[in-house]
Amino acid sequence: MVAPTTPQTPASPVYTKKDFQSDQEIRWCPGCGDYAILNAAQQVFAQLGFPKHKMVMVSGIGCSSRFPYYVNTYGFHTIHGRAPAMATGIRIANPELQVWVATGDGDALSIGGNHLIHALRRNVDIKILLFNNRIYGLTKGQYSPTSELGKMNKSAPYGTVDQPINPITLALASEATFVARSVDVYAKHLMDILKKAAAHKGSAFIEILQNCNIFNDLAFEHFINREDRNKFNVSLEHGKPLVFGDKRELGVRLNGLKPEVVKLGENGITEKDLIVHDEHNPTLAAILSRLNPPPTQAAMDEAVAKDPGSIMPLPIGIFRNDSLPSLEDRIDGQIAEVKKKKGEGDLRKLLFAGEMWDVK
């Protein structure tokens, strides 16, 4: 008698970053933050062990939307703002594919706003990378939906009068089940977030603060530079208190529903008094999404001069990470339930059902 054998599962492919580099010339401005994001994505894709012929990169219009040309997977350069809709169709048509979207603050939050909202609320299993540089870079420096109030630029020579969109708050309000933020130059952190997004089943939204060194240079420098990032960034880690500062001497606590910065050791304050992050609590995520340091260097200087201990830090990390049925699961479940009740469908019978008439 021959002993039964254990079925062997196909080994995961072994890739390097080079396997995800295309033969296309990269046409971003020298020094653009997109290079750092591309580098992180290519490294992470190589580490996932997911067959690259089953990966699809989808984009709309903008500098970030050249991503499909530079990543050696299947890709789809779509039309302005419609990348989430296209990605939804791709994923539903072939659930075996891993679908990523590269988009910008203009592409996703202006003409593409509704498409983004509905892709997130439906919990489609796609990963959306939103490059936020607070400007329209491809069209040469007009203000975008995330540009700070009062920003002077080519389309607002006397300063913008529009209230900017908070991408994290919008994603949470749209019921995205994975919402995170990173920064183009935080290489290790960005790669970790990308890996966790890839492992998530459902809609994943990552805001990546990205520098446009031509039309909005150093937009985030006053709170992400090496010297000051510990002072003005707070890391979101599940189950851990919100502590930050050069000597980890500061924290964030809730005063009712209002977050406030406190100094540890002052007035008996300890880490037990601080907010403990829970990435499964959407209400807490919404509160944390409202934390922001001053939007400009001038505003930061004014705040530091007035009260340096009261400056709200920028949360970096995962705001929400919940496991809920994806759109694909719900569709499959609905189809199975209908088949159980009514049996297999008959397309010809459906087409010829109801009132019929001849057109002569």
Q: Give the DSSP per-residue string, 31-84.
A: T-THHHHHHHHHHHHHHHT--GGGEEEEE-SSSGGGHHHHBSSEEEE--TT-HH
* Section 141-153 average pLDDT: 93
Residue 250 has pLDDT above 90, yes or no: yes
- Report how far residue 191's alpha carbon sits from residue 122's, in angstroms, rounded to the nearest whole number: 26
Alpha carbon of residue 157 to chain centroid: 30
pLDDT confidence of residue 350:
83
pLDDT in tens, 18-70: 999 999 999 999 999 999 999 999 999 999 999 999 999 999 999 999 999 99
- Report how far residue 238's alpha carbon sits from residue 280's, in angstroms, rounded to the nearest whole number: 9
CA distances from 125 to 58, 186, 204, 352 (A): 13, 25, 7, 36
pLDDT confidence of residue 10:
58
Neighbour order of strands in the sheet with 258-263: 243-244, 250-255, 258-263
pLDDT confidence of residue 354:
82
> 199 with 127: CB under 8 angstroms?
no
3-state secondary structure of 108: helix
3-state secondary structure of 284: helix
Beta bridge partners of 21: 71
Alpha carbon of residue 290 to chain centroid: 16
* Section 115-127 average pLDDT: 98
Strands 314-321, 178-183: pairing is: antiparallel
pLDDT band at 356 (very low <50, low <70, confident <90, very high): confident
Would residue 49 be called left, alpha or beta, if left means φ above 0 and alpha means ψ between -120 and 50 degrees?
left
* Domains of the chain in sequence order: 17-327 (3.40.50.970)
24-38, 235-249, 299-313: range with lowest mean pLDDT: 299-313
- Report how far residue 110's alpha carbon sits from residue 143's, in angstroms, rounded to the nearest whole number: 11
Copy the structure tokens of residue 45. Answer: 């894709």
At position 260, the amino acid (one-letter code) is E
pLDDT confidence of residue 352:
85
pTM: 0.93
Give me the DSSP letters along 153-210.
Answer: BTTBTT---SPPP-HHHHHHHTT-SEEEEEETT-HHHHHHHHHHHHH-SS-EEEEEE-
* Section 156-172 average pLDDT: 96
- Residue 321, classified by CB atoms within 10 Å of its CB into exposed (0-12), middle (13-18) or buried (19+), is buried
Residue 4 has pLDDT above 80, yes or no: no
For 199, phi then psi, to 5°, come to -80, -15
pLDDT confidence of residue 353:
85
* Section 140-167 average pLDDT: 94
Q: Is the dihedral of CA 105, 108, 112, 117 positive or negative?
A: negative
Q: Tell me what percent of the residues of the chain surpass a pLDDT of 70.
A: 97
